[in-house]
Amino acid sequence: SKLSLQFGENVLAETHAFELHITDENDLAGLPEGTREAARSLAKSQDKEGWIFTLDHPSYIPFVTYADNRELRKKMAIAFGARAFQNNEFDNQEITLKIAKLRFERAQVLGYVTHAHFVLEERMAETPEKVKSFLNDLLAKAKPAAEKEFAQLTAFAKELDGIEQLEKWDGAYYSEKLKQQLFSLDDEILKPYFQLEKVLDGAFTVAQKLYGITFEEIFEIDKYHEDVKTYEVKDEDGQLVAVFYADFFPRKGKRNGAWMTSFKSQYVKKGINERPHISNVCNFTKPTETKPSLLTFNEVTTLFHEFGHALHGMLANTTYPSLSGTSVYWDFVELPSQIMENWCYEPEALALFAYHYETGEMIPMELVHKIKESASFQEGMATMRQLSFGLLDMGWHGQNPTNITDIKTFETEQFASTQLYPDVKENAMSTAFSHIFQGGYSSGYYSYKWAEVLDADAFEYFQEKGIFNKEVAAKFKENVLSKGGTEHPMILYKRFRGQEPKPEALLRRAGLL
């Protein structure tokens, strides 16, 4: 536990230790206005001239996606990939090895073959063998598509800029350019239609249409920071369902990423149904003097994803807090969150919130069609990337790690079947792989893909009956959202769907069939 804490603190320290200070405006070529503005105000806040970019996601992602200056993209990408892998005071190499070995020892003490056997006993997947065959099965289906996409991207970069060898810091940049060429779809064209407040209202409206709950902002609840907003959630009879907290902007000392937290679980005691206090935390671009907070489409799906977790917490209806809400098997917990992302692609749902922040016009249908079409753009490569993380996780935890001495060598072996880009010698994944060494995803990273199989299969049911179909929503609420961990997930899923999940729905959606 102490090592995991230290691991996370080191990653945070390394993330904040680096900044790219730009004083020549030419180096900003390609970057969107909003990104420049944020970098300018960060520099101002430090009494510096020019622009400052950091490894925080709202700064890092746009930089490596849009900056024309390849050398600076390289500098940023290498810094990001080298976090806690620099043989300095914040180095995580020893810590990573120690955590893996201690986990293995604990598993052995408890009578399990490996840490993965120990963890997976309480998962839908049940065994490391099942997980590995699940990952490798998807890999076999995704790899041909990924290699084809990578070849297409390589040819595109060569034709556009004469790039001979595509490197990791080129991926996001040329993917974005290729996506624009194929779909003329640019985040910057979409962002004006996704004002944070409206998107949040949209999520609230979707929840109301499906589950009959309403959200009202209130101002008398204590909160830990002024940026946090608080809401009372009520059912159709006006009864309190939950208290919801929204904390959406980066600040110093707050970690990257997005998550859902339950401050107080739902439970029943002495006949009183205690209602939960649930929060969503994200890191979106703050409003500036001239613009409200505008989201990329990716951030819209992130908001809906975390809101799905929140619904799982808010609509809980069980007796014990330890089995309430998201206290379910780990490879089932992503179903309520990932299924919510599907509504972001549906014209009927977008009509609820995608309006231009200046003109008030609704997002044009052609853009909606392009969003849908582009959803499976480079899905082979994206799938390979996710599978590589899952396989690395199983590499650390599904075997005896005591003979691993060098992290880089070990990773190279683990990534052999999924590697597309040339290796970067200064970088390692494991030393900043917070999901599995700081968060609770050890032996569980595969569950993102596992849950995608569930969510694609479940959403097809909604599509068959209508995406706001009350009857399907009631079944989902009754059998999945409200039950928490009181029954085996497969039993709950089959009660909702009438059958076991099939991977075909996911492969169809991803264009991999």
The residue type of 74 is K
Cα 231–chain centre separation: 24
361 noted as active-site residue: no
Distance CA 47, CA 341 (A): 40
Quick check: 64 and 73 in contact, CB under 8 A?
yes
Residue linked to tokens 């809101």: 307
Residues pairing with 218 in the sheet: 230
Token digits of residue 127: 């065994």
Distance CA 246, CA 237 (A): 24
Give which of 277, 329, 333, 327 is closest to 305, Cα–Cα: 333
Catalytic position from the list 14, 176, 299, 306? 306
Task: Report CA-CA distances (Å) from 186 to 32, 65, 298, 346, 442.
Answer: 11, 11, 12, 19, 35
The residue type of 196 is L
Beta strand 267-269 with 259-264: parallel, antiparallel or unpaired? unpaired
Distance CA 395, CA 389 (A): 10
Residues pairing with 304 in the sheet: none
Torsion angle in degrees (nearest 10) through CA of 305, 308, 314, 317: -140
Secondary structure in 3-state letters for 12-37:
HHHHHHCEEEECCHHHHCCCCHHHHH
Residues 6 or more apart from 189 whose CB is under 8 A from it? 367
DSSP state of 325: T
Token digits of residue 153: 């991207």
Quick check: 436 and 411 in contact, CB under 8 A?
no
Catalytic residue positions, numbered? 306
